[in-house]
Chain A
Amino acid sequence: MRSLPLGLQVPGDTVWHRLPTGRKLLGLVLLGVGVVALQGPWLPLLALAAALGVALHAGVPARSLALGVRPLLVLLAVVAALQTWQRGWPVAVEVVATTLTLVVLATTFTATTPTDDLLDAVVRAARVLRPFGVDPERVALTFSLAISSIPVVTTLFTQTREAAKARGLERSPRATLTPFAVRTVAHAHAVGDALAARGLGDPD
């Protein structure tokens, strides 16, 4: 089973699926702030358990969830080790549990929200900026592109690293980072062309 790609909805009819997108997004922001404010090791752990319960209730496959947070684990292990060394294990647990809670909540949000609904919510929120010349549809499209570009950019990085490795240059950051940057910009150009061709940058 693959990890759950960002922005890919898990179809369902749970209370989390039925919540209006705007309220859900606001709830996510408030919960995020609340979770970060929690102190000590036990409350963040409780929050993580609650977030996992919500995710499973929303139908997010447990294995997909685990695979989704796996890339973070190395980073979190380093952070935990540093925090334990400098500030003690309770702070390490607090930081790790808080981060995982935020990731699980964000994954649950995207899994229970069709991207089209998310775009509508962003368009509604961005309407207040219309008097300043901001096109709400463009803001929403930018939001969507940011989400959908993550797996593409990850793939580009993997391919570039493999190409460097094939030439025996796996220890040279320049051999990976320079072509990676060039390919990412080239991809952005190609996406820009495709969006222009679909008329998505045109005025109404």
Chain B
Amino acid sequence: MIRFEDAGVTVDTPDGDLAILEPTDLTLTEHRVGVIGANGSGKSTLARLVNGLVSAASGTVRVDGLDVATDGPAVRRRVGFVFTQPAAQLVMPTVLEDVALSLRRHVKDKREREARARAVLADIGLADRADTSVHALSGGQQQLLAIAGVLACEPTVVVADEPTTLLDLRNARAVQERLLSMEQQLLLVTHDLDLARRCDRALVVEDGRVTCDDDPERAVAHYVESALS
């Protein structure tokens, strides 16, 4: 469960603090929660609060009861994060080694680490690419690998920040299906309104505020009307 308790984010400017996310109060218990909104609206800031990539200037964010500000490492063990740019997430030369890197902190035995990494790769459909260079993968495969690196740590929550924006239709579909079929709670930031409709709940973020929190169909309708008016 993700809980925002009047959590807000500001940045320093020469004219004083500028709110990029107004104090927000939300309790997210649904399996799949979509977040939609225009570029620069504050969607990613909201998502990044969940694992401490962005710190709240006011209020508190909790994941499974843990305060992100004070229990950061424990929260990050529970929250996996998938970024828009998979290339920035892949830091080891080969596919297998990159997944194994996620496990280095918590699985000291090399053989166990490798076995677990291979199991995750098999589950995500990249078993035959285990010894391939990460740079030789397609964009979609790189994003799947990034997801594999996240799932290897067995998180309870996965936050995905526009994970399909840079992918072609086929790869985007593969990544979407993988994300939507996960058993973990998913907080999905997206511009894909069809994808948002497949969530259990959707939030619309506009100008740093959650302006609609509703059933996905109604939230998408609200966003479309607001964006095109």
Contact = CB atoms under 8 A, between A and B. Distances in A.
A5 B93 contact: yes
Given A115-B97, A120-B110, A190-B83, A196 B53 contact: yes
B76 A202 contact: yes
B94 A9 contact: yes
A112 to B, nearest CB: 13
A202 B135 contact: no
Given A9-B93, A148-B91, A148-B93, A193 B110 contact: no
B51 A197 contact: yes
B133 A5 contact: yes
B102 A198 contact: yes
B74 to A, nearest CB: 9
Given A190-B88, A199-B76, A5 B135 contact: yes
Contacts of B77: 199
Most chain B beta-carbon neighbours within 10 Å: one of A2, A144, A145, A197: A197
Interface residues of A, number: 35
Contacts of A24: none
A199 B73 contact: yes
A203 B72 CA distance: 10
A193 B91 CA distance: 12
Interface of A: 2, 5-9, 11, 114-117, 119-120, 137, 141, 144-145, 147-148, 151-152, 187, 190-191, 193-200, 202-204
21 contacts: A2-B136, A5-B135, A8-B133, A9-B93, A9-B131, A11-B131, A117-B110, A119-B104, A120-B110, A137-B105, A144-B91, A152-B87, A193-B88, A194-B81, A194-B89, A194-B91, A197-B83, A198-B76, A198-B150, A199-B76, A202-B76
